[in-house]
Structure 1
Amino acid sequence: MGLRLWEKYLLLGALAILGIMGVSFVVMNDYEPKAINGESESAKLSRDIVARKAFIDHEIGFNSSLYGNADISKRDHVKDMMKFAWDGYKKYAWGANELRPISKMGHSASIFGSGKTGASIIDAIDTLYIMGLKNEYNDAKRFIETELNMKSIRGDLSVFETNIRFVGGLLSIHALTGEIVFLQKAQEIADLLLPAFDTPTGIPLALVNVKTGKANNWAWASGGCSILSEFGSLELEFNYLSNLTHNSTYSNKIAKIRETISQIPKPDGLYSNYLNPRTGKWCSKHVSIGALGDSFYEYLLKQYLISGKKDLDAKKLYDDAIEAIENHLLYKSAKNNLWYFAELKGARVEHKMDHLACFISGLFALQSSNEPTQERKDHFLELAIKIADTCHESYARTETQIGPESFRFTQDAEAISLRETEKYYILRPEVVEGWFYLWRVTKDEKYRDWCWNFVQAMDKYCKVEAGYSGIRNVYRINGDYDDVQQSFLLAETFKYLYLIFSDDAVLPFDQWVFNTEAHPLPVAKNV
C-alpha cells in the first residue's frame, strides 16, 4: 500500500526537519517481526514506510552536507570507490563469492563450498545501503530473495566465515531496513551450521557439509582442535537471531560455549588459540591477538555493549583476558618505543604482530569510552593510541604506504616484515578500523589524514581495470597483484573509510555494535 501524495510531502517535510536537527540514522531498535514466516498487512505497511523513510533519510542526510563534521568530498570519493568495485563484481563475477579484477572472472574461496553463494553480495549489501547506493542495494536484495540458496552448495562451509559474513550481513541489513526476507535467510543459513555444535563440550567444529550434515575441524589445526577466534565469534549474531525469532536454539548454543570457556583453567589467565572440542582441554600453547585469537576478545566486549551493558559475565571474561594479555604480551620496541603485542608459542615469545591484530586499537578505543572510571578510560585510550601509532608505522615504512600482513620487531628492525611470506596486503580493514574508532573517540584529525593517505595509496597501487586487487609485496612498486577482490573490502574496508569521513550521527556507537565483519547490529534497549 503506497502513501498518498499529501502524506508523502508531509513525511518528506518532517524528515527534512529531523535531518537538519541532526537526528541519528535509521534507528531500527524498535522493530520486532511478529512472525518469521509471514506478516500481517499492518506489519507490512509499517515495514514499507520504515524502509521508505530510510531511503529519504539517505537523501536528506548521507548525500548532503547537513551533518556537521562530515568531510563530504572524501566521503563521496570512498563511495565512488565502492561503486567502482561493485560494478566490476556485478559485470564479471555476479553470484560468485568474489571477483578476480584482472582476470575479470569469478573467484570462489573454498571456505564457502562450491556453488553460487555470492559472498560479496551479502557482505556488501549493508554498505551499499548505508552509502545510499539504491540501485546497487536493490540488485543485491533481488539476488538474496531469488537466488541465494545455501542448501544447494557442495562441500564444506566454514562456520565462522559463514556466520560473520552471511548470518551477520543478513541480520545487519534486516536491522537497517526491517525487510523480513533478510531475517528469513539469516535463520535458514544459521540452521545449516547447527550440526557443528554437536560436541561434548558444545565447542563447535570449524566446518559443516550442508549435504551430509557432517561436521569436522580443519585438518591443519593443532591436533584437530577448534580455533579460539572461530568459536568465540558467534554470539553477537546467534543471540540477536534468538531475540528476533523468539527461538532460544541459537542463544542456547552460545550459552554452552560460554559455560565451557568459563570453567576451563587458564594458565596465567591466557587463552590458547586451540581448544579440544571433545575434552575441553587446551591444545598446543599459542596465544595471539592476531590470527586465530583476535575476534574472541572483540566479541566479549561487544557482547557486553550490545546487551545494553547487562551481560556482566562477558565484561568480566573480557577484563580478565585483556589483563593477562597486557601482562604477558605487551612490549615496547627498543629504538622508537613502539608499543605492540607479541605472540606466545609454547615458552617462546615471538615478537611479531599481524595486520589482523591492529583491530585491537579500535577495540581499546571503544572500551575506553565505556569504562566507569577516568583511570581506566585513560589507560585503554593510551593503549589504543599507542598501538594505532605502531600500526601506522607498519604502513609508513613501505614503498606503497600500505601495511604488510605481519611485521616484526628485532634489535635492527621495527614494524617491518622480514619474511617474503608476510609482505602481502589483501585489502584488509583492521588498521583503518582502529583509526576509525579513534577518530570517533578523540576527534584527532590525524586519523582522518591517515585514512585519506591510505585511500590515495589504494587508488594508486590496488586499483585495476575492473576493481581492486591485493598486492604481493607492499615494499615494492611493481604492480604484482594477487588478482582477488576480497568480499571484506566491500563489507569492512570501504565501510570504515566511508564512516570516518561521515558525521558521528551515522551509526552512533551507543546504538550500534559492529560485528567482526563490520556489519552493524543494534544495541539492546535499556528498559
Structure 2
Amino acid sequence: MGLRSHEQLVVCVGVMFLLTVCITAFFFLPSGGADLYFREENSVHVRDVLIREEIRRKEQDELRRKAEEANPIPIPKPEIGASDDAEGRRIFVKQMIKFAWDGYRKYAWGENELRPNSRSGHSSSIFGYGKTGATIIDAIDTLYLVGLKEEYKEARDWIADFDFKTSAKGDLSVFETNIRFTGGLLSAFALTGDKMFLKKAEDVATILLPAFETPSGIPNSLIDAQTGRSKTYSWASGKAILSEYGSIQLEFDYLSNLTGNPVFAQKADKIRDVLTAMEKPEGLYPIYITMDNPPRWGQHLFSMGAMADSWYEYLLKQWIATGKKDDRTKREYEEAIFAMEKRMLFKSEQSNLWYFAKMNGNRMEHSFEHLACFSGGMVVLHAMNEKNKTISDHYMTLGKEIGHTCHESYARSTTGIGPESFQFTSSVEAKTERRQDSYYILRPEVVETWFYLWRATKDEKYRQWAWDHVQNLEEYCKGTAGYSGIRNVYESSPEQDDVQQSFLFAELFKYLYLIFSEDNILPLDQWVFNTEAHPFRIRH
C-alpha cells in the first residue's frame, strides 16, 4: 500500500511538471508557431557558432599583433654613426624610406597616411574622409629616384587602378590636392615618361576646376569632388588665403604645357592677372583676400610663413620653370622680396640671427616659423639664377644667414630638432617658451634650405647638419612601423604624435637623399621643385 502511494505521488509530480512545461512553452513561443520556434532555435545555434568563430578570430589577431610587436618589420639597417661618407649616408636614408614605406604598406595601404605606433590608417581633414592614398602618390617619385623598384611598381599599379573622383569624399583642400596629387602625378610622369601618370594628373586637376568658378576667378579653398560644390573655410570668414590660391600656377601651367589643354593655365593666369592689378600695401601681399569682384585685401596681416609662404616661392619658380621667359613673374617676385626685406627682415640682439618677423598692420611679432625656413632655400635658388652678381651675392648671403638661424633653432633644442615656431626677444633667441609651438611634425623646410645651400656652396657643414637630423629622426621620431612627429622638442623623451605625414616621403626624405647625392641627380638647371618637392622639367 505504501509503495503504491509513493508511485502515485511520483506520477502526479511528473504530470504536473509536464503541464508546467507545456504552459510555459505556450506563453513563450513566438507568434509564428512551432516551426518558427525551431527555425529560430536553429538560428540561435548558428549565431552562437559565428560568435565563437569571431571570438577565436579576435584571439588569433591579438596573438598575431603581440607577435608583431615582439618582432617588428625586419628592415636591415646600419648602426647610427656607422656611415661616414656621402654614399653610406645616402644608403642609410634609402633604408629609412623603405622602413617607413613597408610600415605604410603593411598597416595602412590605400589610406592617406599611417599611424606608425597604432599601426592603422590616418587621414586629416585636408583629404576629406575618403581613402585616396595620399602617401602612395606623394611618395612615388621618391621611390623611383632612390631605386626602390618593387615598391615603385606596387605604387604605380595601385595608381593605375585608382579613381580619384569615386574615392574622394567630403570637402577636399584645393591647395593640398593640387600640390600633393596633381603635383605628385606630374612629377612621376616627368621622371618616367609613363603617360598613365599624366592622365591621372589631368583627372585630378579637372575635378578641382569648379572651385575656380567664382566672380573674380580666385578659387574657393574647399571642393566636394562628388558634387563640384566649393566654398571657403568657415574660420577664414569667407576669404581666400594667399599661399593657397597663389600656389596653383606651377602645376596648372605645366599640366597645360604637357597636355595641350589650355584651361588649366588660363585659370592660373586669371589669378595672376587679378593680383597684378591690385595695389599692394607698401609693396606687400596680405594673407587674406575677399571673394568679391573685384576682390579686396582682408586684414593687413603679412608673413613669410603659414598662409603666405609658397606664393613667393611660386613667383620665383614659375619664372625658372618657363626657362626664365616670364618677366612679369620675375619682376613681381623681386618687388615682393624687396618689400619684405625692407619692412620685415630683422637681426636678433644677442647673436645677430637673421629672420623675417610677422606683421599685423604696423605691429611686429618677432617670431619665425619652421615653415618660413624654406625662404633660405628660395633666395639661394634666386641667387643661383641671377645674372647680376651684386644681387646674386646679396641673396646668397641672405640664404646662408636664414639657413644658420634655422639651424640654431635645431641646435638649441633638447632633441636637436627645431620647433614649429620660435621667438626673438630680449630673453629668448631662436627658441620658444610657448608649449603650443614646441612640436615637430616631420617638416622639411630647414633641410630644404640646407639642400639648396649645399648645391650652391659645397660647404660640408650643410651635409653634416642634414646627417645630424637623420640621427635625431632615428632617435626621437622613429616609431614601431614608421616615423612620427613629436609633441615637444625640448623634452629628452618626447611623446610621439603617431602620424607619419605623407610629405615625409615627398619632401624630407627626398631632400635628405639628394643632399648626399651627386648634383647630376635632378640638376637644378633642368628641374624645378613644386612646394611639395615634386620635380618638374624646366622648359628651355
Matched-pair contact (CA < 8 Å) for 1:276–1:282:
yes
Say which SS state the counterpart of residue 415 (structure 1) adopts.
Answer: strand
Distance 1:395 1:150 in 2: 41
Q: Where in structure 1 are there 5+ consecutive unaligned residues?
A: 1-69
Q: 2:409 aligns with which of 376, 379, 394?
A: 394
8 Å CA contact 2:409–2:418 kept in 1: the answer is yes
CA displacement 1:66-88 (0-9 Å, x = unmatched)? xxxx8110001000000000000
**Mapped partners of 1:479, 1:350: distance in 2:** 28
Q: How does 1:346-357 map to 2 (within 5 A)?
A: 346-357=361-372
The question of whether the paired residues in 2 share the 8 Å contact of 1:365 and 1:441 is answered with: yes
User: Aligned to 1:287, which of 302, 305, 310?
Assistant: 302
The Cα of 1:285 is off from its aligned counterpart by 1.1
1:114 aligns with: 129
- Matching residue of 2:347: 332
Distance (whole Å) between structure 2 residues aligned to residue 257 and residue 487 of structure 1: 28
The farther-off stretch of 433-442 and 152-161 is 152-161
CA contact (8 A) 1:340 1:353 kept: yes
1:273 pairs with 2:308: no
The reply on whether 1:359 has 2:374 as its aligned counterpart is: yes
Does the residue aligned with 2:235 lie in a helix, a strand or coil?
Answer: coil
The CA deviation string for residues 303-328 of structure 1, in whole angstroms up to 9 with x for no partner, is: 00000000010000100000000000
Q: Could you tell me whether the CA contact under 8 Å between 1:116 and 1:148 is conserved in 2? A: no
Residue in 2 that maps onto 1:181: 196
2:488/2:494 contact within 8 Å kept: no
The 8 Å contact of residues 417 and 472 in structure 2, kept in 1 or not, is answered as yes
How far 1:207 sits from its partner (Å)?
0.4
Structure of greater Rg: 2
Amino acid at match of 1:232: G
8 Å CA contact 1:117–1:150 kept in 2: the answer is no
Alignment partner, residue 434 of structure 1: 449
SS of match in other structure, 2:385: coil
Deviations 1:390-437 (A, max 9, x none): 000000000000000000000011000121110000000000000000
Paired residues, number: 456
Distance 2:123 2:454 in 1: 35
**Cα drift, residue 108 of structure 1:** 1.0
- The equivalent residue for 2:251 is 237
What is the rounded CA distance, in whole Å, between the counterparts of 2:529 and 2:322 in structure 1?
Answer: 13
SS of match in other structure, 2:171: strand
Distance 2:312 2:377 in 1: 12
1:197 is matched with which residue? 212
The answer to whether 1:162 aligns with 2:177 is yes
Post-superposition shift, 1:184? 0.7
Which of the residues 505, 513, 524 maps onto 2:528? 513
Give deviations 1:37-60, integer Å, cap 9, x for gaps.
Answer: xxxxxxxxxxxxxxxxxxxxxxxx
1:218 to 233, 243, 264: 233
- Whether contact under 8 Å (1:342, 1:349) holds in the other structure is yes
Contact 1:129 1:137 in 2 (8 A): yes
**Cα shift readout 1:339-379 (whole Å, capped 9, x = no counterpart):** 00000112210001100000000001100011111101110
Q: Residue 227 of structure 1 is aligned with which of 235, 241, 260?
A: 241
Counterpart-to-counterpart distance in 2, 1:352 and 1:427: 20
- Residue correspondence of structure 1 range 19-98 to structure 2 within 5 A: 71-98=86-113
Q: Tell me the TM-score normalized by structure 2.
A: 0.84
Q: Which amino acid aligns with 1:367?
A: H
Moved more, 464-473 or 271-280: 271-280
Partner AA of 2:171 in structure 1: D
Q: Distance in 1 between matches of 2:164 and 2:532?
A: 21
SS at match of 1:369: helix
Between the aligned partners of 1:162 and 1:277, the Cα distance in structure 2 is 21
Instruction: Give the 5 Å matches for 1:387-426.
Output: 387-426=402-441
Shift of 1:180: 0.9
Question: Is 1:164–1:516's contact at 8 Å kept on the other side of the alignment?
Answer: yes
Structure 1 residue 157: deviation in Å?
A: 1.0
Output the amino acid matched with 1:457.
N
Aligned counterparts of 1:415 and 1:164: Cα–Cα separation in 2: 30
Once residues 166 and 410 of structure 2 are traced to their aligned partners in structure 1, the CA distance between those partners, rounded to angstroms, is 42
AA aligned opposite 1:319:
E
1:246 paired with 2:260, answer: yes
CA shift, 1:149, in A, is 2.6
Q: How far apart, CA to CA, are the structure 1 residues paired with 2:483 and 2:349?
A: 37
Preserved CA contact (<8 Å) 2:132 2:167: no
Equivalent-residue separation in structure 2 for 1:356 and 1:131 (angstroms): 25
Q: 2:496 aligns with which of 478, 481, 505?
A: 481
Give the C-alpha shift of residue 148 in structure 1.
4.0
Instruction: Please say if residues 239 and 254 of structure 1, whose CA atoms lie closer than 8 Å, have aligned partners that are also in contact.
Output: yes
Task: Give the deviation of 1:152 after TM superposition.
Answer: 3.4
Structure 2, unpaired ranges of 5+? 1-84
Give 1:267 shift.
1.0
The correspondence of residues 125-164 of structure 1 with structure 2, limited to 5 A, is 125-164=140-179
Q: Take 1:240 and 1:153, find their aligned partners in 2: how far apart are those partners?
A: 24
Q: Which amino acid aligns with 2:303?
A: S
Partner of 2:62: none
- Please, what TM-score do these two structures have when normalized by structure 1? 0.86
Deviation digits for residues 430-452 of structure 1, max 9, x if unmatched?
A: 00000000000010000000000
Query: Is the partner of 1:275 in helix, strand or coil?
Result: strand
In the alignment, the residues of structure 2 paired with residue 513 and residue 113 of structure 1 have an alpha-carbon distance, to the nearest angstrom, of: 29
C-alpha contact 1:118 1:148 (8 A) present in aligned 2: no
Residue 473 of structure 1 deviates from its aligned partner by 0.1
For the residue of structure 1 that corresponds to 2:485, the secondary structure is: coil
Aligned equivalents of 1:148, 1:469: Cα separation in 2: 29
SS of 2:271 mapped into structure 1: helix
